[in-house]
Structure 1
């Protein structure tokens, strides 16, 4: 191993230590199994509680999926759902000066009396639109998967409550919204001002930005389930191999 390679490996190890250190979360996870009637735990021993006390809109419906897809990692929170035929809001207590991860879980299965193809809706968090005219059924079909998780990193708002509003589309007859699971996790501030690529004289203030997670890859490693994530943030990491379009791969192992 030459000097340049040793230096690179040292830097990689250094950055790995830094990332683990700053990923510690002191907040309490909140996981809601929407439509469920009692607390439960999934196979990773994550505790999910019913969503009722956080729901600020009356006259909503709850439903149970009529079919359990074999690819579901857990029946919790996916086999129960909260159904909205009109705008509805959750209100979740948070620390307003902290950044939070928000995860939305969708399982577009068949629910009694409903046609999942009619489900088009929008989702907003603290008046920030996260999804618009969204169809979980079409999205899952395009991705060839049974369920879907959308994750967002929300900037501090100085408000002591996170409001999440589901609004059925007014462009589709019989439209309804649904949600199977909601997670809110307090996280450390990982972002700062960054220089725009290709524009050295321009910067972006990522610290005040609201971000959506697109891919989270464990480079050179295997899948890591949320139960084994560092810092208690319960993030899922995926093997990067399916995303690499090159045969010239080199792996480093550190001991």
Structure 2
């Protein structure tokens, strides 16, 4: 199912390896981000933006709900891919403890940040926060949409959405700062999948076929949502019937 690239072999992640300098000798163009990671990233960007911008209007409620459900499915995939995916996609390769996070932040403030081929420790924190907040947001959103919980869930849902926006803004700012300090375009790397680094750090497989299946699944879900959604006129009719029945009960 996986498709190969010209990058070196996909070696197991070394949890205790020290960060290498950005300009280390012998660096080459290597594949770092496989296609499923990139598709996940940009679909999450699109879905979060859609869900956030449509949160305050009933007119676009179906779009809001569809984006939220899509994010839930994407997070489920990312959790699985974080255990079984390629080297730099696995949580074991980039999730670090408080000391590593503190050391990286100090190097960032000093203007000479540690270089990591994959996610840096601070970026890992943002990723975990976004995954967790997405779970809270979509779970509460599902409960609210299906009237399964107390009204207080609406406040939790709104808080999770605003917290995600704050994390996204901080993440984007950190990416732009790191790109400047490292002299590499991290946004472009998440589009192409390629960065510069030691040949041994590259992954061998882009897994484009799996990424294609992800897109097909998401597009299929969107089509199903639109086909099975109630027609606005039907909703109005249903509301009129409910009102009429209520009046009859009063009589």
When normalised by structure 1's length, the TM-score is 0.21
Query: Which one scores higher on RCO, CA 8 angstroms, separation ≥ 6?
Result: 2
Larger Rg: 2
The structure whose residues are more often strand, as a share, is: 1
